[in-house]
Amino acid sequence: MKYIIRKISTLILTLFIVSIFTFTAFQVIPGDSVLSTLGMDASPEAIQALRQERGLDENLALRYGRWLGNVLQGDFGKSTQYNMEVGALVSSRLTVTVWLALLSIILIIAISIPLGILSAMKEGGIIDRMLTLLTQTMMAIPPFFLGMILTLIFGICLKWFVPGNYVSFSENKGKFFAYLIYPAIAMAIPKIAMTVKFLRSSIRRQMHLEYVRTAKSKGNSKKDILVKHVLKNALIPVITFLGMIIADVLAGSIIVEQVFNLPGLGRLLVVAISSRDYAVVQAVVLYIAAIVVVINLFVDVLYRIIDPRISKEGGAE
């Protein structure tokens, strides 16, 4: 329990630091959001009035304090680009990004773990060499480029979907997932390659430890040793690795959503930055940071549950 409380305290502190950085960064960068809203031909009176309305005539610390207080109450302000509450705007885009990330993660886990095990079991064989070559190649290809290849093959050549088109979840659930599967694959492929390589190395490290040699001397088959002993220990570091992968998937969705014209958080962030809609940018960054730190907290707790040795070490401390 003490460990969880300590982790939650770290989570809160992390989000607090992110909030300071996010707010301050967009207050000191060149450019004026007021001029972006009113235009360069606006009168000085109109500019001053809007600056006062947004509280931009106050000092930075006072503005941050007021903004943080509002955020803690769920009020992120109003979007200057979309003319609506930021909280409602971000929430409406969150569904696409969450489903996209979830589909990618399902693909990563469902494909990488069996392939990683297969590669480790066939160490040095033709299958292992082929998987090693394939993973090295896939890790080098960025998701946005894979997205363009998938669009070219399945959208333009095979016409399995209409490039740039999107169907919302409420409109048609089947088509919603049909359009999400291609960007999910584009995001998942490099991560699958990374996870296969990591799991393969983790299993091989375990296979050379003393307890495996002892199990072999007792006449256990390689398959039994792998399933009953090695796999559990080899998957423990993979869980932490997958936590980092999930954070990468969320970050990678920003560009992939642009390629497939998906109305998610990534596309919203790009539009908000280009239009200097700082309230939206700050909210999206905080949302993503919160999701990442919560996932890391979950992974840390799961890690301790799976490996009791860590809990004992933590208790000893």
Model pLDDT, residue 317: 40
The pTM assigned to this predicted structure is: 0.82
pLDDT of 100: 92
Number of Cβ within 10 Å of residue 49's Cβ equals 14
pLDDT (0 to 100) of residue 182:
94
CA distance 199 to 113: 7
Q: Provide the residue type at 114 as one letter.
A: P
Which domains occur in the chain, in start order? 93-282 (1.10.3720.10)
Strand partners, 78: 85
- Candidates 253, 287, 281; CA nearest to 81 is 281
Token pair listed for 160: 């399995």
| 72 Cβ contact partners less than 8 Å away, ≥ 6 residues apart | none
- What pLDDT is stored for residue 316 in this prediction? 40
Write down the pLDDT at residue 56: 67
Measure the CA–CA gap between 271 and 281, rounded to whole angstroms: 9
Alpha-helix runs per DSSP H in the chain: 2-28, 33-38, 44-53, 60-72, 86-121, 126-139, 143-150, 173-207, 210-217, 222-225, 231-259, 265-274, 278-306, 308-316
Query: Cα angle at 18 between 12 and 19, to 5 degrees?
Result: 90
Q: What's the pLDDT tens digit per position in 83-111?
A: 899 999 998 898 899 899 999 999 999 99
Q: 298-308 pLDDT, tens per residue?
A: 888 877 777 66
What is the pLDDT, as a whole number, of residue 186?
94
CA–CA separation, 124 and 189 (whole Å):
23
The number of residues making up the chain comes to 317
How many C-beta neighbours within 10 Å does residue 150 have?
21
Give the residue carrying structure tokens 């790009």.
Answer: 270
Query: Which tokens go with 291?
Result: 């999701």
For the chain, which residues score pLDDT lower than 70?
28-40, 54-57, 307-317
